[in-house]
Amino acid sequence: MTIDLVVMGLGHVGLPLARAALSAGLSTAGYDVSAPVVDGLAQGLSHVGGVSHAQVADMLDAGFHATADPAVLDGAQTVVICVPTGLTPEGLPDLSAVENAASVVARRLRSGMLVVLESTSYPGTTEDVVKPLLERGSGLRAGEDFHLAYSPQRIDPGNRTRDVGNTPKVVSGCTALCAKYATAFYGRFVDHLVVARGTREAEMAKLLENTYRYVNIALVDEIALFCHQTGIDVWDVLHCAATKPFGYAPFSPGPGVGGHCIPVDPRYLAARAESQGFSFRMLAAAHQVLTGMPRHVVDRTLSLLGDTRGRVEGARALLLGVTYKADVADLRETPARPVAAGLLAAGVEVSYHDPYADHFTVDDRPLPRVTELRDGLEQADVAILLQDHACYERHALGRARCAVLDTRGKVVGSSVTLL
């Protein structure tokens, strides 16, 4: 039995991709090594913020099924690898999931198949890592017997206007023919395609996109630190600068960066550069600023508690928004963890409020969750707005009995201190 597409890795990238392909009429299946993910999808339950339970049910009605059985690859015309790429404990690129996925595909590879890597990685991954694994495991040749391509994902969790179909997509291939096959595949459900010169250019473009954000967030964070030291209103500075209609892109400071991309992707670029004898000095400087922001939030909080309470031990701090992004249920690499850890180490009692996080742990220690915001604010000595979810109404927070540290420039009130 043939099938148009098998998506490997049904997370924040793979599941929306599968949904977009199904919507365009492609017969689609999903492969994932996680039994809870597979079982949940079979029951119509989504584990991805950008895809609802109802949408998963619609996918099942359209013929989608998820499985942990690699036999699903046997009849695939196209296989897209969307597995995660993270970091080792030493902070180096961890391609084990990509390597494992490529090895699984290699055992099922057949002539004419298109294999696409969407996982973010350093330049050279497609041709230096994935290609040899596929060729050795199958005895087939990329560009001759099968087609190999790279197309970086551009999923933006929580974005209600941009999705897989209407976001321009970069496509590349190991050969011109590989790129042609990849373009034909994505052209069935993506409105606008951009063909890169090669896979290394496409891989580098993805790293540039997120490194650009990484560096600019670090810049405005350091601007915020300077403004705090010199008594300048950083939020007014940012508002004024953002009115320039050319030559300036607005970014906002905060308690640190989170998610799978921004804290991780620049490390892939830096590690690859270092292996080539090149040093990205700007990345090192940005890393120093960004990793220091949670500590800055902790220090500001402790200072507030000292001023308002006289001592920090036994004080009660309420974290508002512990996910890494506004109105998104994703805790990956959230700066709320080092903030909470710093407060706990100082003897502060820490709880949290977040409608998107049922559980939140710090060093395997679960933090108490406050479900009623008003009660939480009444009981806290200080509330820290870490993430500006839509549920946090600025005037209500500004009237809170406790002190409020606002890291997002959203709240007004006499008891509010800005980052």
Sign of torsion over alpha carbons 186, 192, 195, 201? negative
Question: Quick one: how far is CA 3 from the chain centroid?
Answer: 30
Find out whether 99 and 129 touch, Cβ atoms under 8 Å. yes
> Quick one: DSSP state of residue 316?
E
Is residue 188 left, alpha or beta, with left meaning phi > 0 and alpha meaning psi from -120 to 50?
alpha
CB neighbours of residue 61 within 10 Å:
10
Query: What single-letter amino acid sits at 402?
Result: C
Positions annotated as catalytic residues are 261
Find out whether 357 and 323 touch, Cβ atoms under 8 Å. yes
Which DSSP string do the residues of 322-387 spell out, in sequence order?
Answer: -SSSTT----TT-THHHHHHHHHHTT-EEEEE-TT-S--EETTEEPPBPS-HHHHHHH-SEEEE-S
Exposed e or buried b per residue across 251-280, where buried means at least 16 C-beta atoms within 10 angstroms of its C-beta: bbbbbbbbbbbbbbbbbbbbbbeeeeeeeb
Rounded CA separation 36/156 (Å): 24
Rounded CA separation 192/41 (Å): 29
| CA angle (363, 366, 367) in 5-degree steps | 110
